[in-house]
Structure 1
Amino acid sequence: MIRVLLADDQRLVRAGLRMLCQGSPDLEVVGEAENGEEAIRQVAGLSPDVVLMDLRMPGVDGITATARITATRPGTRILVLTTFDDDEHLYPALSAGAHGFLTKDAPPEELLDAIRRTAAGESPFSPEVLRRLVRKAVGAHRETGDAKELASLTDRERDVLALVGAGLSNAEIAARLHVAVSTVKTHVTALMGKTGADNRVRLAVLAHRCRS
């Protein structure tokens, strides 16, 4: 069971998220917070697996709350869910330690999948958010070590890297390559070890740099 905390200053939004989560047998909403300070306090008391974190809240905002939670409770993962997907909010949230970033217009099934992926250690992003992250990173950095990194990869690892770069989840990659999800996880771990990338966004950036 994945324990979820909802942090949003709008009661109606929290009610909708609670109803959505309660419709999934593997998700349990353990608490709600209407501002960042309350979210920090509830995380300390409830130890949720995932926090659905809004960014604009009164008092302590979501970015500050994310930084404090990830610093003191590294076992709790933060999935940002916000109306704002602009760079002004995206990069500070990621710098604060957010593990994923979705906009509130994401389809319900995408949100539920993102919660599960976040709990499993993945970093889900809305497709447009991921594309913008990759474009900015590719434009800012062109690593001379890319060719060397690629040379050490197996053909299957290259396949997995390309699909990570396309924004696919482990389950989607497994279905595309006709292998077990556990096999994909093994390949992703190997990719991180060989390339020095510590998360899926950096792997996606590498995939796009090497393709361009």
Structure 2
Amino acid sequence: MSGGRRCLVWAPPGLREPLEARLSSHAFEVAHAVDKTPVDVAVIYFDGDDASLEVLSRAVELKSARRLLAWSTRSARPLIEAAFSLGAHSWVFAEPPAAWDEVARAACRLVSEEAGNVVVPSARAFDEFLPLISRLSPRERDVLRFVAAGMDNLTIAAHLGISERTVKTHVSALYRKLAQENRAQLALLGAACSSP
């Protein structure tokens, strides 16, 4: 059952169906039309084309969702900045088939307010972080890359073959070294700094 959480999904055919199924398995009721009551989260595939720009803009204009989650299979600074400038509350970079779980978990975090609102630094601010990122250890850069991909600590631990506690230690070090206050900011910074 939905547990009272409702979502809207916009994505091209082939991406939408598996994502809707995964969101349903994470206790979301998937709405298929906008009504007078906003859904908890709108999950919008955003690749910067005219269609995704229009969908995100209209979702903001119509106030169709309390929170907007933009996701893409591409991680590029201009794309991330465009999504946030249009009104997205959170961003996930994820590639299928792992995308379905990663996006669904991000939607759950966003609805539970764990992600909070993210303030997007300017391109100049990203450039100021590049020297700091170059001083990170190779393992810290690995962890940052996985955080930027929207993975949780347990998933990162499995990918790197280390304990979840070790991942938490690295994430804490990243917060301190990069002067970030929450995971969403850390993920955004990591995604943007690793983009061309």
Per the shorter chain, which TM-score range?
Answer: 0.5 to 0.7
2:172 matches 1:178: no
Task: Select which of 192, 198, 208 maps to 2:175.
Answer: 192
Question: How many angstroms apart in 1 are the aligned matches of 2:14 and 2:162?
Answer: 41
1:72-111 aligned at under 5 Å gives the runs: 73=66, 76=67, 78-80=69-71, 90-95=80-85, 96-101=87-92, 106-111=95-100
TM superposition shift of 1:78: 1.1
Contact kept, 8 Å, 2:80 with 2:91, in 1: the verdict is no
Q: Could you tell me which amino acid in structure 1 is paired with residue 81 of structure 2? A: Y
Q: Secondary structure at the match of 1:61?
A: helix
Percentage identity across paired residues of the two chains: 20
Task: Select which of 127, 138, 141 maps to 1:141.
Answer: 127
Q: Secondary structure at the match of 2:32?
A: strand
Change (3 A) 1:94 1:191: same
TM superposition shift of 1:16: 5.7
1:159-178 aligned at under 5 Å gives the runs: 159-165=139-145, 167=148, 169=151, 170-175=153-158, 176-178=160-162
Change (3 A) 1:67 1:81: farther
TM superposition shift of 1:116: 0.9
Structure 2, unmatched stretches of 5+, are 116-122
Structure 1, unmatched stretches of 5+, are 124-136
Q: Secondary structure at the match of 1:79?
A: strand
Number of residue equivalences: 169
2:108 matches 1:119: yes
Question: How many angstroms apart in 2 are the aligned matches of 1:10 and 1:204?
Answer: 23
Contact kept, 8 Å, 1:78 with 1:98, in 2: the verdict is yes
Change (3 A) 1:146 1:173: same
Q: Rg larger in 1 or in 2?
A: 1
Task: Select which of 37, 52, 59 maps to 1:65.
Answer: 59
Tell me the TM-score normalized by structure 1: 0.51
Question: How many angstroms apart in 2 are the aligned matches of 1:67 and 1:193?
Answer: 37
Greater relative CO (CA pairs within 8 A, separation 6+): 2
Measured against aligned partners, the alpha-carbon deviations of 1:158-178 in whole angstroms (never above 9, x if no partner) come to 623333236552333212142
- Return the structure number with greater helix share: 1
Change (3 A) 1:118 1:159: farther
Question: How many angstroms apart in 2 are the aligned matches of 1:202 and 1:101?
Answer: 12
